[in-house]
Amino acid sequence: MAKKEKMHPFKVLGYLPGTNCKECGLATCLAFGVAIMDREKKVGDCPYLLTEKYKSSHDLLIEYFGQELNPEHEGLLINTDKCIGCGDCITVCDKAQVNVDYGLGTVSPRNVPPVFQIIDGRINVINWPSCKRCTDPPGICKVCEDRCAFDVIELVG
């Protein structure tokens, strides 16, 4: 099973009307596309995408980005319907938590509770503050998303 191709701002722009009408509250359609990707705006915030002319673009963008704003754990989206409970994301996350980059080397072990757990056959967040993305300054870790073969986990922003 191949992973879904990642969208980038200019690809998203290709599905938008390109009118730069500002009816979504942003100055350009490109800015709106980026806001969709960051889950700051919903696809339906563009009135043109709600018309019959742009129905196919609307449906495709909804498939990629959903309709939710402000995920429960900032920057983390989980589609539990796709999860098969394999635990690969947990394994790589646990390994990433053990090693903390410091300069050119690594310091380990890091005593941090796990971020994820499989509950009833599905991935669940049990300790979001343990995620490297919650550190100060935030880490740029995406190992869980990269490892998931089923597009269950998406990190945005």
Give the global pTM.
0.58
Q: Are residues 55 and 109 in the same domain?
A: no
Per the structure, the complete domain to which residue 25 belongs is given by 9-65
Q: In whole angstroms, how far apart are CA 26 and each of 2, 16, 23, 60, 69?
A: 34, 13, 7, 21, 16
Q: What is the pLDDT of residues 98-151, one digit of tens each?
A: 655 555 555 555 567 888 999 999 999 888 888 888 877 777 788 999 999 998
Q: Are residues 92 and 141 in the same domain?
A: yes
Cα 14 to Cα 35: distance, rounded to the nearest angstrom: 15
Residues 16/19/22/27 CA torsion (nearest 10 deg): 80
148 part of a folded domain: yes
Q: Are residues 149 and 87 in the same domain?
A: yes
Q: Are residues 46 and 88 in the same domain?
A: no
Q: Are residues 105 and 47 in the same domain?
A: no
Please state the domain count of the chain.
2
- Among 149, 108, 119, 61, which residue's Cα sits nearest to residue 45? 61
Other CB atoms closer than 10 Å to residue 62's CB: what's the count? 15
Q: Are residues 83 and 150 in the same domain?
A: yes
Cβ atoms of 107 and 100 closer than 8 Å: yes
Cβ atoms of 96 and 108 closer than 8 Å: no
Q: What is the pLDDT of residues 3-32, one digit of tens each?
A: 556 778 899 999 999 999 999 999 999 999
Q: Are residues 15 and 55 in the same domain?
A: yes
